[in-house]
Structure 1
């Protein structure tokens, strides 16, 4: 298949795609291995390196069940993503799918959810980079960076300099080009898988069944709360579909990569969670920094495993931040091309083939959040944005089956329509476990998005202008 966007079928009106010759195009340079690595890279590390420190105190050892609940919800939605990605292989992820199936105003709301999801999660993940840098410096060289510049505000720090440096490095790499970024990401994904498997092997050597008692000290409500909090760990599945216009043979590659990423991620998460709660009493997770590295040091009594793990975490968090920022820029690119945002967001550099201005703006925003804003409360907000987007995707599958039944699809959701209905129900169930304050912040965010839509987007929409 030739590497040009003119080789795919024109998506349904409003799918977030631009027919050949009518607008800027991204280069098709990503294959199945690289795309699967993007999904795994955005997911593994989004939360697993630090989410246990907050979720285990909520659920106890039963956090393993919380991961299963989140994985089932993500899995049902992944099947829906796979069908829509094979039918509408364009950039923009669930924003584009909502545009094609449910209309412009719903799509803008979903786009707002995705921007919240990606921006906040990128900032939250980059915050953890400084913690693992300090863990490495401490064990390898006997010193640490001062907390005032290495920890997030509200947790002993004033400005998180390592997080801001990390975002800057990711920005420079993304500006250079997508192919280079995807290749480096694939290498770092391999590194993170090795170190997490190393953790599982060593932690299981210190496994004590007594650490699993009581298994669910806070009952099923604690399990549900933890499942809601850790759900943002599965946003990598969404990142796969943001690359729709830069993938070779997208009708086949996109659904395969989504399913591969889901299987690998779920198996690894459950193994890491079980090994961690088996090696350390659940009451000790509260307030730990670089907790998984600490477990390795406690189990072995030596520093070399924690040094290796900290290095792997440093590479992993770099990879996650890179992919999440990449995903956000592609969503903004698509929204700008559709006229929902100013056209500068859709401008592509003729030299690198990447949306440079867009990438710089996103990176500045993520950097400021990571450096100056306490993000512990916003983890739930990230989950809510993700779950709303996932719900819309599941509904979109059913709508597209009815409105475009004969559209070619490289993958079809099995058990239709039961599977997408179960996906919607699972998302609503996980949403119900979020804290009340989260819904207040979310309502404020959507209010701001509505002001932008009715103040700018409704007047400049490409689809509306074509009517």
Structure 2
């Protein structure tokens, strides 16, 4: 139940044991592009067909329901991000509000939201890469090298390649990564808008009926899957230590990003369902390319969609991997993870070893695990951490009403309570097997904390020595780069 005060978290945030801090070099536009880069990818380009298979045309309601869940939680992230602008995201918020053990378990669940989700995103990359290669050069990567075992393959090589390429870019520096993410975000928004323009030329309102063929249960199950398409907006909060004026720009970027993405998803879903009967979309790989081919009668449009998807999914891998490394950096700084994760290169101001460890470890499930297995685990882990963030807002309002908050959750306490309720509702729509896997995962996390983190906690060690309330003293932060 050890609590680390928000003031201490902020004071420590610019330093690590080696004496080199992260660099504040991300502006508001780059941060919004980073958020879009973290969200728009596999969920809409690959996962749309699975969501349609569950809900039919009512997938529009499923997306709105998933978005509402995110809106309430986004308010909570915005308030906490403005009050505690550090790299740890929900882990750091839980440390300040709910105590060390809970914080560790939140950080452990973030391995599902970021680490395992980056594997899921990378898995979907190969589908559209094959589409692109087939339409441009007439070649295809054999299924044995492009699919997971059980789905006609042996190892998913494209998934491993895109993760290693993202790691190369991340270790070069945060400015370079932010610029690349901004360019890719603009490209994929343009491609999705082009898809809508093409699909609406074949729009038939009659194809939206019956609207909810699978009933309320189908809408709920579809919302649980649609939620995967929104995962990543909270990655903005992991950039808290590398953003200019974070108390203003972090909450602003979260809300702008979520609004843009929700509007884009609803537009894409409406265009897709009006252009082709939902029965022909459900369960089909690379569904957007299929719809464009149907609407145009040629493969030219699907080539453009494939280009957008390859770029979009690569940008999600980049942004989500970035988020995972910063969370591990924060946990390591507190002594709850090995020290290798907190070392920052003085040359690039990036955690180089941390980045390569994340890339190599999570490339393994990307190479050999089917997408549906990885997707469900990602969703339940993300929903659990988001529920915890809403609890953190309530706990901090009670414990630290004096804490400076640039943004405050509207309609408090109704908004965070509704955020918790919606998260639990979507979790209930997941299969029993996913719950069992999640329970085992959390149990392992509890054992890791008891056996490793609890004994090495710098907060505990400093209190036992009767010294300062936490670990290493802050080191000078490098000058802001323009």
2:430 match: 434
1:350 to 1:287, Cα distance in 2 relative to 1, 3 A: same
Partners of 1:270 and 1:420 in 2: how far apart? 24
2:210 is aligned, of 207, 214, 220, to 214
1:294 match: 290
Q: Does 1:247 align with 2:222?
A: no
Gaps (5+ residues) in structure 2?
464-482
Q: Does 1:347 align with 2:353?
A: no
1:48 is aligned, of 18, 31, 44, to 44
1:4 match: none
2:254 is aligned, of 255, 258, 261, to 258
Q: Secondary structure at the match of 1:341?
A: coil
2:389 match: 393
Deviation at 1:26, TM superposition (A): 0.8
Partners of 2:431 and 2:382 in 1: how far apart? 15
Q: Does 1:457 align with 2:453?
A: yes
1:204 is aligned, of 196, 200, 206, to 200
1:323 match: 319
Partners of 2:318 and 2:427 in 1: how far apart? 27
Deviation at 1:13, TM superposition (A): 6.0
CA deviation profile, 1:95-126 (whole Å, cap 9, x unmatched): 11001111101101100111111112111111
Deviation at 1:17, TM superposition (A): 6.0
Deviation at 1:154, TM superposition (A): 2.0
Partners of 2:15 and 2:161 in 1: how far apart? 39
Alignment RMSD, CA only? 1.5
1:12 match: 6
1:17 to 1:234, Cα distance in 2 relative to 1, 3 A: farther
Counterpart contact for 1:16–1:100, Cα < 8 Å: no
1:57 to 1:463, Cα distance in 2 relative to 1, 3 A: same
Partners of 2:34 and 2:130 in 1: how far apart? 27
Q: Does 1:422 align with 2:422?
A: no
1:105 match: 101
CA deviation profile, 1:103-158 (whole Å, cap 9, x unmatched): 10110110011111111211111111111111112222222111111223322211
TM-score by length of structure 2 reads 0.93
1:301 to 1:19, Cα distance in 2 relative to 1, 3 A: closer
Partners of 2:200 and 2:149 in 1: how far apart? 35
Deviation at 1:19, TM superposition (A): 5.8
Partners of 2:245 and 2:75 in 1: how far apart? 19
**1:335-414 pair list within 5 angstroms:** 335-414=331-410
Runs (4+) off by over 6 Å = none
1:116 is aligned, of 112, 120, 126, to 112
Partners of 2:452 and 2:390 in 1: how far apart? 28
2:309 match: 313
Partners of 2:186 and 2:443 in 1: how far apart? 41
CA deviation profile, 1:2-28 (whole Å, cap 9, x unmatched): xxxxxxxx9626748616667442111
Q: Does 1:193 align with 2:189?
A: yes
Partners of 1:141 and 1:357 in 2: how far apart? 37
Partners of 2:281 and 2:303 in 1: how far apart? 20
2:127 match: 131
2:270 is aligned, of 269, 274, 281, to 274
Partners of 1:50 and 1:399 in 2: how far apart? 38
TM-score by length of structure 1 reads 0.96
1:74 is aligned, of 70, 76, 93, to 70
Q: Secondary structure at the match of 1:243?
A: helix
Q: Secondary structure at the match of 1:48?
A: helix
1:211 to 1:19, Cα distance in 2 relative to 1, 3 A: closer
Deviation at 1:273, TM superposition (A): 0.9
**1:75-90 pair list within 5 angstroms:** 75-90=71-86
Partners of 2:247 and 2:34 in 1: how far apart? 17
Q: Secondary structure at the match of 2:371?
A: coil
Gaps (5+ residues) in structure 1?
1-9
Partners of 1:22 and 1:278 in 2: how far apart? 53
Q: Secondary structure at the match of 1:144?
A: coil
